[in-house]
A and B are shown apart, each in its own frame.
Chain A
Amino acid sequence: KAGVTQTPRYLIKTRGQQVTLSCSPISGHRSVSWYQQTPGQGLQFLFEYFSETQRNKGNFPGRFSGRQFSNSRSEMNVSTLELGDSALYLCASSLRAESPYEQYFGPGTRLTVT
């Protein structure tokens, strides 16, 4: 069974631009979560989607948004990029949104904002 895939793997953008990241979950998984990972802040929860609906949201500004499609694939969008948005963005999928299901992570998208 194929794992979680994320595209693109690397991205360089300039301040003020916007970016869209894509995530394809493991087949059969209906829950997708997004995280921002930085050396100083660790792993920060962005949002979680299940059945095309956002079920949980972290403490990020409205510039960060996401969506989930009927095939469970998910995208996240960051508008008006800032230097501080440079990070590794991780997508994780699980069977369902409710615990106690573990999450399976993709390799991440490394975003660099210059």
Chain B
Amino acid sequence: AQSVAQPEDQVNVAEGNPLTVKCTYSVSGNPYLFWYVQYPNRGLQFLLKYITGDNLVKGSYGFEAEFNKSQTSFHLKKPSALVSDSALYFCAVRDPNSGGYQKVTFGTGTKLQVIP
């Protein structure tokens, strides 16, 4: 069975500093990986995804994520945090090798707090 872990419930970072939100996954083969962001009182918004190819994926709002197969990780990064980046971030995985219509499994979410 596929699973996703976000080991940090909350990450605090000063504005202007680089940020990292961690995600590790478990699937039987090569995964499809996603990052979503949720602002207060709103639904989730798609940020970026890894399907295949280059391990560094660039997405919306200056975010990027690095796929590391040996460490089964897909950490979200941004070189310089903004106060407006403060939100709840979800990592998700889909296993294309599980056959049929594969469901998406989400992590429990990491609250990012950017301090002015």
Contact = CB atoms under 8 A, between A and B. Distances in A.
A61 to B, nearest CB: 18
Interface residues of B, number: 24
B94 A100 contact: yes
B102 interface: yes
| Interface magnitude class on chain A | 20 to 34
B116 to A, nearest CB: 26
Contact of A45 (B36, B96, B105): B105
A99 interface: yes
Given A99-B32, A100-B32, A100-B51, A105 B45 contact: yes
Interface in A70-114: 90, 92, 97-100, 102-108
A24 interface: no
B43 A99 contact: no
Interface of B: 32, 34, 36, 41-46, 49, 51, 90, 94, 96, 100-109
Interface of A: 4, 33, 35, 41-43, 45, 48, 50, 55-56, 58, 90, 92, 97-100, 102-108
26 contacts: A33-B104, A41-B108, A42-B90, A43-B106, A43-B109, A45-B106, A48-B101, A55-B101, A56-B103, A58-B103, A92-B43, A92-B44, A97-B101, A98-B102, A99-B94, A99-B102, A100-B94, A100-B96, A103-B34, A103-B44, A103-B46, A105-B36, A105-B43, A105-B44, A107-B41, A108-B43
